Amino acid sequence: MIAALIIVFREVFEAGLIIGIVLAVTRTVPHRNQWIAGGVLAGILAACVVAIFAGALSNLFAGMGQELFNAAILSLAVVMLTWHNVWMARHGKELAGELWAAGRAVVEGSKSLLALAIVVGVAVLREGSEVVLFLYGVMAGGSDSGLSVALGGFIGLVLGALVCMLTYFGLVKIPTRALFATTTILIALLAAGMAAQAAAFLEKANWLTALDNVVWDSGWLLSDSSLPGKALHTLIGYTDQPTAMQLVVYIAVLAVTFALMRLYGAPAKTVTPAPAE
């Protein structure tokens, strides 16, 4: 039971953190619960499909299907997160103000929600397919008691939901004025971290071989497989042995995000002065 609990918790932990952040980011947006729940459900369904076709997926691209699939969905999440940040730079003020009540703003808002729902779906999908395969294997094998494994898995899931709630309530405690800046930075770091992970998958698939030297090894200080290391891995993309390429990709995504926010972020006409950064 404990083994099942640990495995399930390890997998849902990352998704829990990401969903918690997305919930905090969209806290003032109407209908956000349906969108995020939809993202979670779509993620679970997709995880089951991926689990069923795990063998076929692996065999694609000379055995590197899994790595490339992970890189692709991570890249999709990076685009969605970046797009959300740029969108918020332009519409953030409307969102806080009365303009939000206007119909157009709601329509615009659902575009941003769709982007974040996709991010949630990707987070659930990535970790979920492993949980599905594990639980299915245990159920089919029948060596352990199915009930105790199911119970362990369920507790693991509850603990994951707890991580999600702690993240959410921790973030919404931040005053509204500071929350926007905080979540913008959090999302930019999340996107950069995911992009570096995507680069790592491409390196594993041998599709990316340039700059593949390990720049530092901080495993002695904080292993990225420990719980705090894993949390930092999800939040800011921490890894204890980054390659030069991962660092380049990380910095490039941050630079592009803030450049795009500057370029497209300025609203056409605002009376209020720009908020201090």
Partner 1 sequence: MSFSCTLPKLTTFAAIALISIAATGAARAQSATEIQLSYKDKKFDPAEISAAANTPIVIKLKNLDAKAMEFESKTLKVEKVVAGSSDATINVRAQKPGRYEFFDEYNEKVARGALVVK
Q: Contact residues for partner 1 (CB under 8 A)?
A: 3, 7, 51, 54-55, 58-59, 62-64, 66-67, 129-130, 133-134, 136-138, 140-141, 200, 203-212, 214, 219, 223, 225, 241, 245, 248, 252, 255-256, 258-259, 262-263
What is the closest distance, in whole angstroms, from the C-beta atom of residue 238 to partner 1 in the complex?
Answer: 13
What is the closest distance, in whole angstroms, from the C-beta atom of residue 204 to partner 1 in the complex?
Answer: 5
Of 177 and 262, the one with the shorter C-beta distance to partner 1 is 262
The answer to whether 15 and 8 are in contact (CB under 8 A) is no
Of 117 and 124, the one with the shorter C-beta distance to partner 1 is 124
Other beta carbons within 10 Å of 51: 18
Which residue type does 103 have? G
Place of tokens 């940040």: 85
Secondary-structure percent of the chain, ordered helix, strand, coil, rounded to 5: 80, 0, 20
Of 15 and 208, the one with the shorter C-beta distance to partner 1 is 208
What is the closest distance, in whole angstroms, from the C-beta atom of residue 113 to partner 1 in the complex?
Answer: 27
The answer to whether 258 and 185 are in contact (CB under 8 A) is no
Of 226 and 270, the one with the shorter C-beta distance to partner 1 is 226
State the maximum Cα–Cα separation within the chain, in Å, rounded to a whole number.
68
CA distance 126 to 15: 9
Q: How many helices (H) and strands (E) does the chain have?
A: 9, 0
What is the closest distance, in whole angstroms, from the C-beta atom of residue 176 to partner 1 in the complex?
Answer: 27
User: Which residues partner with 243 through β-bridges?
Assistant: 214
What is the closest distance, in whole angstroms, from the C-beta atom of residue 10 to partner 1 in the complex?
Answer: 9
Backbone angles phi, psi at 156, to 5 degrees: -60, -40
Q: Which residues contact 126 (CB under 8 A, 6 or more apart)?
A: 14, 15, 70, 73, 74
Of 27 and 230, the one with the shorter C-beta distance to partner 1 is 230
Of 97 and 137, the one with the shorter C-beta distance to partner 1 is 137
What is the closest distance, in whole angstroms, from the C-beta atom of residue 251 to partner 1 in the complex?
Answer: 10
Give the tokens for residue 53: 């076709």
Q: What is the DSSP letter of 145?
A: -
